[in-house]
Structure 1
Amino acid sequence: MITSLDRTHAGFYRCIVRNRMGALLQRQTEVQVAYVGGPADPIAPTIIVPPRNTSVVAGTSEVTMEPLIKLHIIWKKDGVPLSSGISDYSRRLTILNPALSDSGYYECEAVLRSSSVPAVAEGAYLSVLEPPQFVKEPERHITAEMEKVVAIPCQAKGVPPPEMAWYKDAALIHLEKLSRFQLLADGSLQISGLVPDDTGMFQCFARNAAGEVQTTTYLAVTSIAPNITRGPQDSTVIDGMSVILNCETSGAPRPAITWQKDAPWTVLLASVDPELTSVVVRGLVPARSYQFRLCAVNDVGRGQFSKDTERVSLPEEPPSAPPQNVIASGRTNQSIMIQWQPPPESHQNGVLKGYIIRYCLAGLPVGYQFKNITNADVNNLLLEDLIIWTNYEIEVAAYNSAGLGVYSMKVTEWTLQGVPTVPPGNVQTEATNSTTIRFTWNPPSPQFINGINQGYKLIAWEPEHEEEATVVTVRPNFQDSVHVGYVAGLRKFAEYFTSVLCFTTPGDGPRSPPQLTLQAPPDVAPANVTLRTASETSLWLRWMPLLEQEYNGNPDSVGYRIRYARWDGRGQPAVHVIHDRVEREFTIEDLEEWTQYRVQVQAFNAIGSGPWSHSVVGRTRESVPSSGPSNVSALATSSSSMLVRWSDIPEADCNGLILGYKVMYKEKDSEARVRFWLAEGNASRSAQLSGLGKYTLYEIRVLAFTRIGDGVPSRPPILERTLDDGG
């Protein structure tokens, strides 16, 4: 194609075609340029392929917009001409490290210089995306009371604006089905009327086309034992007036309040033997003061009560009930918050002095550790210096001056997740093609993951450019001991450092030691492989050389390897190496005659060898047998005849299809010409010679023949004499 034709383009044009055989084909044509009716009419510029709408993530190394057009080109962004990033004769606009400000409408305008022909323009939109980023996150641990309303904050930004999704204990929350749950305008989650089952791990995900981020928090819903925070006060009023008695309480759920006036005496023993003068009263509450009174009862009725006794105070005893509402919640990856309420007042059996907390690893035969709270008003404790992401059993008991009370039921709780402390093991990498690296690795031991394995990050970066690393996230595979992943889209023929890390919700673990991964060997085999007979001892092999984009390496290092062997498996395979990347044929020589061979071709570069091509089979050309029949023998049957026998020629020496045999014979030490007796057919194994001389010694040999000719006669010659008839 000749653009902007003028008189300088006039002349003869010749097309020359050559091939490897040296043939030359030439054709020529003449181009004449003439102006008709004055100056040539201008041809309007044409945009053959316009730029296309493109979306990229902010910070991408570069983005290119390229039309295929003719003539002078002007680039504009939102109508403003551009001067930077333009290359390839203005056909290409490249924007390095695109940012949000680079979003807009880009237009290429084709202009025919010094002409009144109007310009043409085509454009496309560039959208620069920004991955989500949190601008507000919840605290690691949130505590809220039953029946209250809690809002868990979570707000993110990005381009396009991210969609928010909430998970509880790794299960998606279907907000449309839960009336108590509401997604607020900024992405936060509001829960109304809290219940104990709302306790758990909440995850907030922000997603858009450029990526995804997540954050977590633990919500603990607490229930609080009833407590009278302000009781009624003694009051004196004038008869007939009203009085207000106040009673304020706390607790979750909200306690019910009942009122009593002049609580009655309790009958402890309803029937006492009249002969007794003393009794033992049981079932009293320790550390309480009691008064007693008596009355006599007969068949007529009950008499008057005696005077009240003086108050009797019982001694203290250890608390007979455990603390109530014991709950535990992980605060950090090495701490757990434990909370409780005192035992019921009727079971405290004295003035509480404090609490003992004992804890140990859940499900393991290990001893307890203890914490002593010496202030009875304290009802929580932060257990610290625990093991990351480990389940603990915790119990609480109250004590007073009389001793330690009953331990509560065991509660179990995990410390929060941490990051892995060791990298994946046995990391291996290899380049599978010019732009992809294959990773294999073993997962870290679970005890060092310190949480729920969220997956792995495969990292590849060019030397001196670690800040521009390519990172691919791979989900965990809990079934296989060896994990496999790929990083694709890398720069062709480049060297890369590679590493793998394991991550949990809190963050990334350490990377595996960097490995240097080189360019890949070829990933395709030569195509169109054919094999033809060249001669009795050679075959002609041809193939299609690899295309340049299939080299996967330095073109100067590319060559071919030929492997060939006998089809029947005899002998050892042979290999020949060709160091010319454009070579497409080779003659395999020094083969055996009339033998079938199997041949394959593979390409290689400086890194290694590619796959072998499919096998092709060929046979060398037929030749004459290279040895004579074996076990040749002769037996005289008369004075003028004898029987000659022989065995097969070794198969390796046939060198073709045996058509028959020839028996060579002549008188011993005679100058006469050798005579031949023909035995046709490859099944012939004997011949009856006749017309021989009487009592004459003959020298005999046998040869086989193919369609090509006679083979080698048998050796050594055998001697046999015809019979003497005695006449």
Structure 2
Amino acid sequence: FISLIMPSFLPSLFSSLCVLGALELAFLKEPGDVIAVRGRPLMLDCQVEGEGPIAITWRLNGVPIATGTRATVLTNGTLLIRNFSKRRESNETDAGEYECAVQNRYGMLVSRKARVQLASLPKFLSHPESMHVDVGGVARLTCQVNGIPEANITWQKDRCSLSTDNHRYTLLPNGVLQITGVQRTDSGLFRCIASNIANTRYSHEAQLTVTGSRIYKEPVILSGPQNLTINVHQTAILECVATGNPRPIVSWSRLDGRSIGVEGIQVLGTGNLMISDATLQHSGVYVCSANRPGSRSRRTALGRLVVQAPPEFVQWPQSVSRPAGASAVFSCTASGVPDPHLIWLKNGKLLIPSSNVKLTNGNTTLAITRITPEDEAIYQCIAENSAGTNQASARLAISQGSELPEAPSGLQAAALSSSSLQLTWDQPAEHVSQQIIGYVLHIRKLGEPDSAELQEAVSKTTFKHEFSNLEAATTYSIYLKAYSALGGSQQSDSIMASTLGGVPSPPSFFTKVLNQTAMQVYWELPSKPGKLEGFRLEYHSVSNPEVQGQETFPAHINTHTISHLEPAAIYEIQLVAFNGNGDSPSNRRLVSLAEGERAAAGRTGSSCNCDQADSSTSALLVGLHSGLACILCCLLLVLLAYRRNFFCRKGESWETPPTLNGVSGPKGHTPESFELSQVNTHTHAWMIIK
């Protein structure tokens, strides 16, 4: 096999240190990307250090590799595949992503994924094409093949190897052959030869024909720079070949105006730009210009170069030891181009956040609260981008904590208001309180594991504390920890407490007169039914101020029919919503029960010839918000509305029967309802004439 990318590793910060009383488990050498040859052996490195015994296993595409006659793990952790194969008929292959997993009694580590490919050289994607070129012109021949590993391209002329000593011949690594200042002796049959460790292939032959002398021609760029993406320290070649008569002068610049520089910069042939050992500063848009000598005639072509950088850690997670019930924070920051994506592993498996395990700040911070024995493990930070991967690890150990204070006891909570809770707890014994330097209260919304945990510290002489700025009618989970100079105690028993809730909002409701002695009341249900317990409906006749009826309904009911009422009377309707905190402000309405027979007769007759006479209903809606004065205005508007020249086209007699204190409709038409709604200090009045 041949290694294209040398295995790279970052020495562990703890490789030479005994952390937490034991040598940390760490990789000395991780497997790297390689290309294997069918039928030949393959070896992948995995060297580790740490407290033994250490078990080493290998995975292919996430599946453990069975060791035996074909695959063996050597004593130093190296994986040996004796006969690398790819069986087409069974779709089985040894190619894929390999990773090394190592484990001791403290936890498990997983190496970076190493990509193993099978060497191959498929058929040419494109062959050189025959062409005619004037004497002194430029010929460009190309062939394309995608090999693994990348094929080495050479050229032949008339079946003889082409000499690269001729300065007029420029051979680019991507398979392009440029011939500048073409001469008649350049005529012949050209073909390219592609070869790698898997195979050797020959392209079709192309005839180069050199024609007569050149005539004047404007500059033309035969091939300009292509967009290219490489990793740092690799080499970039930006092609630019131009022709014309006289021969154009090729120059390079950056679109952003910055200098290209000279270090690592080289010109191949007459105009190709080669950048060796590329850095991030080389990224940008490059402009190739072909100028005709002695004139301003110019042609340009642009190409973008993107230089990527694999992840490098700016901050590594540090191994820590914490007592049970305490908290631990691991930080991991990596740089790279493009920006790396961070994931966390716990003992070699993807870390899944939970109620006490949180990932924040774009996964750069891992916080573990209320540590339990299940949290004791090796945690890995994996940084990935399109240029590569990197990993760092740290261990969380649980200390015995015999010198730590006892967990607080007697934690209780009482609601003070809709936004505050008061917490109290028992004063510890004197021998315990001497080592305590303070307390920390932890509070979080119950049932919302993703909500932020609030923490407030209090002095060691304080045994009560008020949490404020909380949400109304919300239940919280609370616990307390005592701290000494050595660390925190285990947490107290968790308790649940709820803030007081406010009273519900006043419900909006509507009424519909059914007949002379019955009406129906509708009201809107709240968007959150849990905020209230029910509704209470009260009604009485205006002439009888004492309550005539009262009904209570659960929170899911929104309609009720009131019957057996006093015929043609005016009723006041009141609706309130209530919960354990009290009643909402009330909504009140005045409703007039029309005389059923007269209303029915009025609806069948034609009292006036209005524009809407052919329709079943004509309504006038007047809304006023003027406090008590609006009632008088409404009465005045109704009286004015009875005038014939206001609503009708022909004459009609109107009368004012003694209903609603003088308020009535056209002759034979009694208003079906007169409603008045009042909330707090504002009055809303609606007058509906049907």
Is the TM-score greater than 0.5? no
TM-score by length of 2: 0.31
User: Which fold has the larger relative contact order, with Cα–Cα distance below 8 Å and residues 6 or more apart in sequence?
Assistant: 2
**Higher Rg:** 1
